[in-house]
Amino acid sequence: MEVVTFGETMVLLAPDRMVPLEYVNGFHKHVAGAETNVAIGLARMGHTAGWFSKLGNDPFGRYIRQVVRGHGVDISEVRVTDEAPTGVFFKEQISPDKIQVYYYRKQSAASLMQEDELNEEYLGGARILHVTGITPALSPECRKLTFRALEAAKKHGTAIVFDPNIRWKLWNREEAYRVLNEIAALADYVLPGMDEGQFLTGCNEPAEVADRLLTSGAGAAVIKLGAGGAYYSNGRVYGNEPGFPVKNLIDPMGAGDGFAAGFISGLLQGQDLPSAVRRGNAVGSIVVGVSGDVEGLPTRQDVDFLLAGGTG
């Protein structure tokens, strides 16, 4: 397996109209979870990826398994439990860029993941471990599992890619600050958005945020700047990679995960830091043109076409 990732994937119920949730009568069912977005993105670009988690023994759990497996992601380490349901969340979208989410994930099946359920061999066999800051916020046990996974990656020489993905509905600020900085310091690549970088470091410029993350122990930092592309630094190579123009913004959710998938795909192909960042920008820009987190993830052909200067 080239990449292993783990975390909670839920059923997303997305309204059929852009009005406040209380006026919505119809919903569309999707699969959404930062880590499966990345794994599916990688699989669509021709890479091998595995995802582990815990799902409820219920129709939504089965639906998630079918979709994730259907995209070619390995789910052999996914567990199923009778003790809790699969998490669900609703999206409220009043305009293309005005989105709120409402989670129904407290004490969900995924929050019951345990550190002793980690298959170290499975993880250690991967070239890259992708971790997000959502998982350690789910429960104390999930936090232990996250650190256990990081430890295993270090032991086996698996590179760690970390997307802080701060979800304020799941954390208090002090805890988020402490835990996410601790993870960032262990990571080979940290991929915060600018607001996340500011929160983690207290710095206001992308270059300062990156420097601070490197000083704390990260191997490289990539600060995502939305339409402005991304700033990257590993202390030796640094600079800005501009974003790709987005003609029709439909759904910004999942853009960060698209970026991570493109970036990791670049790393797996042996690209240098700026080229991998450019690939991340390309995938991010494609994802936001389609509704749903997974539905816009491109094939390798689509990304290469855009990177070669293709449009439309």
Q: Give the footprint of ligand CKP on this chain (CB under 6 A).
A: 10, 32-34, 37, 134, 165, 167, 253-257, 293
Tell me the two tokens of residue 231: 């700033």
Residue 254: contacted member of ligand CKP, Mg ion, none (CB under 5 to 8 Å, by partner type):
ligand CKP
Which H or E element spans position 121? helix 120-124
What gap in Å lies between CA 287 and CA 133, rounded to an integer? Answer: 21
264 Rama sector, left if φ>0, alpha if ψ -120 to 50, beta otherwise: alpha
Tell me the two tokens of residue 147: 């650190």
3-state secondary structure 207-263: HHHHHHHHHHCCCEEEEECHHHCEEEECCCCEEEECCCCCCCCCCCCCHHHHHHHHH
- Shortest distance, position 52 Cβ to Mg ion, whole Å: 20
**Amino acid residing at 277:** V
Is residue 256 at the binding interface for Mg ion, with CB under 5 A as the rule?
Answer: yes
Cβ proximity to ligand CKP: between 15 and 238 the closer is: 15
Q: CA quadruple 86, 17, 253, 3: dihedral positive or negative?
A: positive
- Shortest distance, position 221 Cβ to ligand CKP, whole Å: 17
Nearest one of 306, 304, 295 to 271, comparing CA atoms: 304
Per the annotation, the verdict on 97 as an active-site residue is no
Cβ proximity to ligand CKP: between 63 and 125 the closer is: 63
Cβ proximity to Mg ion: between 85 and 284 the closer is: 284
- Shortest distance, position 63 Cβ to Mg ion, whole Å: 23
What gap in Å lies between CA 114 and CA 164, rounded to an integer? Answer: 21
Applying CB under 5 A, the span of 119-127, 164-172, 207-215, 244-252 interacting with Mg ion comes to 164-172
Tell me the two tokens of residue 256: 């960060």
Cβ proximity to ligand CKP: between 81 and 165 the closer is: 165
Cβ proximity to Mg ion: between 112 and 210 the closer is: 210
Is residue 165 at the binding interface for Mg ion, with CB under 5 A as the rule?
Answer: yes
What gap in Å lies between CA 126 and CA 263, rounded to an integer? Answer: 16
CB atoms near residue 80 (< 10 Å): 15
Give me the catalytic one of 74, 251, 257, 293.
257
Residue 106: which residues within 8 A CB-CB, separation 6 or more? none
Catalytic residues: 257
List residues binding Mg ion (CB under 5 A): 165, 256
